[in-house]
Structures are given as C-alpha cells and as structure tokens.
Amino acid sequence: MKRLTNRSRNRGVSIIEILVSLVIGLIVVGAVLVSYLGSGKTSKVQAAYAEMNESAQIAITLLNRDLLLAGYARPTGVSGSSTFTRSYSDRPLFGCERGLDNVSRRNQLAPWDAAVCAPAGSINHVIEIAYEADLANTVPTAANLPSDCVGNSLPASGAGTATYYIAHNRYYLSSSGAGKSELYCASQQGAAGQPLVDNVEALRIWYGEANAANPRQIVRYVSASAVADWGRVVSVRTCLLMRSTEPVLDAEDVLTYLDCDGVQQSSADNYARRAYFTTTTLRNKMAF
C-alpha cells in the first residue's frame, strides 16, 4: 500500500504572504524613520530657542549691570544742606530713538547731547550710560585703571587726591562682517565699538520719567525723543528681539511672533525670533 504524502507540510510561502510581510515591514520602518526625523527637527528648534535664551540673558545682564551703575559717584563730602556732594553729578543717561545723525559721533570724546540724534529715519535706539568707574565696579586694565565697556582704560578727571574716572558706555546695534545684527558697545574715549552679543535683531528702550513733584514716582514710559527731562528718568525698560543663528522653522511650525511693540509679525525667512523684556530701576537715582 502506498503511503499518502502530507502536502500541507511541504507547502512553501506564497507570493501574497511575502508581499504582506514586506508591506508591514515598510510601515514599521517608515514609522521609525518619521519619528527619528521629527525628533531631530524638534531638537534643532529647541536648541535654537535655548541659544536665543542664553544670548538674551547675556545681553540683558550686560545692560542691567551698567544701568544699575548709572549716575553712581562716590560721596566726597556733605554740603551745608546736609546732602552728599559727589565727584560726578551729571545726568546718568541719554538716548536716541532713530540712531545718530553721524555714526562717527558715537565715539566722540564729549558726552552726547540732542545734536547727535538723527532728526529722522528708521527706529534705531541707542543709549549712553554714565557713572563713576573704579577698580571695584569695572574690570581693572593692565595698567590697574578702571575700564570702559570694551576693556579700555579710562582717562582721569580731577587732580591729586580728587582724581576720578567717568565711564560713558554707549550701546547700539550694528551689523557684523557676516551681515548679522549684533549688540555693540562703544566708549567716549574715541575707540571703535566692539560686538558683545550676536543675533540681536532689534533693540527698543523706554525711559521711566518721574513726576517733578515726586522724583521717585514713575508716571510714564516714553521713548528717547519724548523724554522731557533726562534728570527725571529713574527707570529703563528694555526689549531685545533675538533671532536664531540659522533657519529652523518650516511650514508645519508657527511662523508668527510678537515684536518689541507687541505687534504680530511673520517669519518669512524661517528664522525663529523671540522678544525679551526687562525693566531696571536706576538705584542711584532713587537713592538721592
């Protein structure tokens, strides 16, 4: 008697089963690939915002440090009205809303006045911060002298035991050789300005002006052109609009942002942007 062969044990894999397996495998691989690419893009965007956060923090720290020193001068005696006399009593701040009438005036040796401000043009805020510098509130130079915001030695004012040093640090935006907008600082000493923080696309400054009857009560924040009396400015509100180093956004991302004026703008070039605000009280104006 012939033994019957069990055909089911010898049957191979059909073409349909192979195709189904391939489709399932492609779906799994595609899902993994999409997840990987999405994760990489998310990491890139997060890194861009982290870099903007860090750069903004550095810029705000530099500005706040000088603003907290604005108007500072050590007491040198007591006047007949029982108030302190100081080595420096000039205004602590001055600013322009539309840039300078002549860029070379940025490094002029004299303190700024209204004549340096451009009468018209695009919004381009600049600020000068003045205070008495010493070896404790600035970085000493190689000659063991107080320094300005770019590390240069300051010239002495006064004479003998009454010698003192006045810093006039000027902050503004300028373009680097690569075309990036950067936060610069120059000094009254006539030296060229130096870049401090890159990718700062806009700088906006508002000045808190006090009531004439109450010099410590802020009644309004205005731009430089609307300041009635620089001697009554006791607070400064600053906005820095930061931009990512490279384009990291695409059509799937939110391409809008709020600028320093609170106006919604669109990022047509796919660069990420974010506005950072800070308000600083001039403690040396509040104290006297």
How far is residue 127's CA from residue 224's CA, in Å, rounded to a whole number?
9
**Domain assignment of residue 106, yes or no:** yes
**Domain assignment of residue 54, yes or no:** yes
Q: Domain range holding 203? A: 42-73+85-157+165-286
Domain total for the chain?
Answer: 1
What pLDDT, on the 0 to 100 scale, is given for residue 56?
96
How far is residue 131's CA from residue 70's CA, in Å, rounded to a whole number?
5
What pLDDT, on the 0 to 100 scale, is given for residue 287?
56
* Token pair listed for 247: 């384009």
What pLDDT, on the 0 to 100 scale, is given for residue 7?
53
What pLDDT, on the 0 to 100 scale, is given for residue 178?
75
pTM of the model: 0.81
- DSSP output for 86-150: ES--S-SEEEESB-BSSGGGGG-SSPP-GGGB-SSSS-B-EEEEEEEE-TTTS---TTS--B-TT
**Domain assignment of residue 274, yes or no:** yes
What pLDDT, on the 0 to 100 scale, is given for residue 74?
83
**Domain assignment of residue 1, yes or no:** no
How far is residue 118's CA from residue 255's CA, in Å, rounded to a whole number?
33
CA atoms within 13 A on the CB side of 203: 29
**Domain assignment of residue 227, yes or no:** yes
**Domain assignment of residue 93, yes or no:** yes
What pLDDT, on the 0 to 100 scale, is given for residue 221?
95
pLDDT along the chain (288 residues), means of 10: 53 73 80 65 85 95 95 78 73 91 78 85 92 93 93 82 87 85 87 89 95 85 93 94 92 88 92 95 76
**Domain assignment of residue 23, yes or no:** no
**Domain assignment of residue 31, yes or no:** no
